[in-house]
Amino acid sequence: MQLSHTSASPLRSTRSPLSGQLPAISGQTALFLDFDGTLADLAPEPDEVRLVSGVIPALLRLSGQLDGALAIVSGRRLADLDGFLSPLQLPLASEHGAQRRDAQGRVLSFAEPDLTEPARGVTEFAAQHDGLRVEIKLAAVALHYRHAPELESLCLRVMQEAADRTPGVELLCGKYVFEIKPANVSKGSAIKAFMREPPFAGRLPLFAGDDTTDEAGFAAVQSLGGEGIKVGEGATVAHHRCTSPSALREWLHAAFGGKSREDGQAPAAAPGARP
């Protein structure tokens, strides 16, 4: 079993670009976006997340301007992402890359480990403690402890022990969540797979995300000559930082000369970074 906080590259804090602006989205960009904490603001419960008005039209416009080279890369289930983004059906990688829908609409599943035992054990554990929530996915089991942060150490121990007993998985640590997922997939591997296919191939990739689970994606795009954008605080390998999901959305609205849809302010990178 592996404990995976990020990509293999060491985390470091970054400062915003000297221009004070996030990288430009151009006609040669391949754009990859995380969902929670990036496109959408975080909510007390995953099911309570809502996209603000204007995001779906902005994504539709950007997808057209990029000739379809826009994909969502998330830890959520594919069906959940489609529900949030309806009526759009964008290329996407779900469950950290365990499933991927390509630009032709084909859905590819890369790993489905036997999670029967960890799912049973984690569910029994969560039932004994108020504030814990278990999420069973196609290829992963997630334990959310946002409403019981004092149980972080206990949750980590239980999830690590469950992962140790399950072949072919690793433990991924995110914001108030521990997740047992396949060891051979990541957001980085999903992005690299997209970059080998049209319409993404031959473009410069940009990836925006907010969590330690996005670090593999930042490392992947930067290894391909592109740029990672960390949304919010925290140590990161990304070259750029954005203050908040709202600021990230403003950056998307402003691409190709578009107009702000939320507060009328121009998108800006964070004035500085904190580890």
pLDDT digits (tens, 9 = 90+) for 2-51: 455 433 334 444 443 323 479 999 999 999 999 999 999 998 888 899 99
In a domain, 264, yes or no: no
Dihedral of the alpha carbons of 179, 214, 149, 124, in degrees to the nearest 10: -10
User: Burial of 2 by CB count in 10 Å (0-12 exposed, 13-18 middle, 19+ buried)?
Assistant: exposed
**Residue 255 DSSP one-character state:** G
Averaged over 107-130, what is the pLDDT? 94
Q: Would you place residue 194 in the very low, low, confident or very high pLDDT band (cuts 50, 70, 90)? A: very high
Residues 160 and 211 in one domain: no
Shared-domain flag, residues 81 and 66: yes
Is residue 233 located within the same domain as residue 151?
no
Q: Are 89 and 221 found together in one domain?
A: yes
Q: Which of 13-22, 158-167, 235-244, 246-255 shows the lowest per-residue confidence on average (mean pLDDT)?
A: 13-22
- pLDDT tens figures, 59-68: 999 999 999 9
Same domain, 122 and 212: no
Coil, strand, or helix at residue 97? Answer: helix
Is the pLDDT assigned to residue 196 strictly greater than 70? yes
The answer on pLDDT for 263 being more than 60 is no
> Has 41 been annotated as catalytic?
no
Q: What is the pTM of this model?
A: 0.86
Query: Contact, 204 vs 212, CB < 8 A?
Result: no
Q: What's the CATH code of the domain at 170? A: 3.30.70.1020
Beta bridge partners of 30: 205
Give me the domain span that covers residue 123: 116-182
pLDDT of residue 270: 40
Catalytic residue among 34, 36, 80, 82: 34
Residues 79 and 24 in one domain: yes
The rounded mean pLDDT for the chain is 88
Task: For residue 60, tell me if it sits in a domain.
Answer: yes
* Structural domains counted in the chain: 2
pLDDT the model gives residue 44: 85
Number of H helices, E strands in the chain: 7, 13
The reply to whether 274 falls in a domain is no
CA pair distance 222, 250, nearest whole angstrom: 23
Judgement on whether residues 189 and 61 belong to the same structural domain of the protein = yes
Q: Residue range 114-140: average pLDDT?
A: 96
